Amino acid sequence: MKVSKAQSAENRQGILDAASRLYRERGLSGVGVADITRDAGLTHGGLYRHFENKDALVREACARAFDWSMTPLDGSGVDTGSGPQGLAARVAGYLSPQHRDHPGEGCPVAALAVDAARAGGDLSEVFAQGIERNIERFARVIEGLEQGKPSPEGRARATQMLATMVGGLVLARATAAGRPALSDEILATLREHLIGPPEQR
């Protein structure tokens, strides 16, 4: 049975969404084509009608993962605009137990940076573009800019904060099963370091 263009586009979107989430949950080597198509509700063979090969799917799914937005994951509805309040909400959301415990819904850098570094080449470029966008967006939040180019100082601060947050989240995830209290301590320590204690936010 012939599939309409709209259905084909929907199927492709479903594959990308499933791959993006599963790769962040399990890593690039922990997910097979069958896992992705099953999660998307499609047959194994259908994937290759949409992607030249698995590498092309990995690149597109990782690029899609960078559409993720650094907003609170606890459903608090805290304002995440620009400026100090928006910055505090984003940092607190990123360095939260919810983000730590749900990598498939979160930051692709903390979940897949090591895989991207090992893969090199085209996938490294996908990550470079995504990280560049994240630095620019975060620098605008830091400087309270809705649009426009942040200053070199804002960009430097954004780079420093993002590197601290990603590293902290990786450490928190690595220790969560073995030492939950240590994992929570890492998150709390970095939140306080970057945005101060809750009573000062």
Per-residue pLDDT of the chain (201 residues; tens, 9 = 90+): 566 788 888 888 999 999 999 999 999 999 998 899 899 888 776 677 788 888 999 999 999 999 887 764 444 444 456 667 788 989 999 999 999 999 999 999 999 999 999 998 999 999 999 999 999 989 998 998 888 899 999 999 999 999 999 999 999 999 999 999 999 999 999 999 998 877 665
The pLDDT of residue 80:
52
CATH superfamily, domain at 83-200: Tetracycline Repressor, domain 2 (1.10.357.10)
Please choose, from the candidates 157, 167, 174, the residue with its C-alpha nearest in 3D space to the C-alpha of residue 189. 167
Task: Give domain limits for the chain.
Answer: 5-64, 83-200
Q: Nearest 5°: phi and psi at 149?
A: -95, 130
Within its chain, how far is the Cα of 97 from the centroid?
A: 15
What is the reported pLDDT for 75?
A: 41
Tell me which CATH code domain 5-64 carries: 1.10.10.60
49 three-class SS: helix
Euclidean distance between CA atoms 126 and 56, whole angstroms: 11
CA separation, residue 101 to residues 126, 147, 177 (Å) = 25, 32, 10
According to the model, what pLDDT value does residue 200 have? 62
pLDDT at 92: 93
- The 10 Å CB-count burial string (b at 16+, else e) for 13-40 is ebbbbbbbbbbbeeebeebebeebbebb
Domain 5-64 shares a fold with domain 83-200: no
The position carrying tokens 């620009």 is 82
Q: Is 20 strand, coil or helix? A: helix
Please return the burial class of 176, using the count of CB atoms within 10 Å of its CB with bins 0-12, 13-18 and 19+: middle
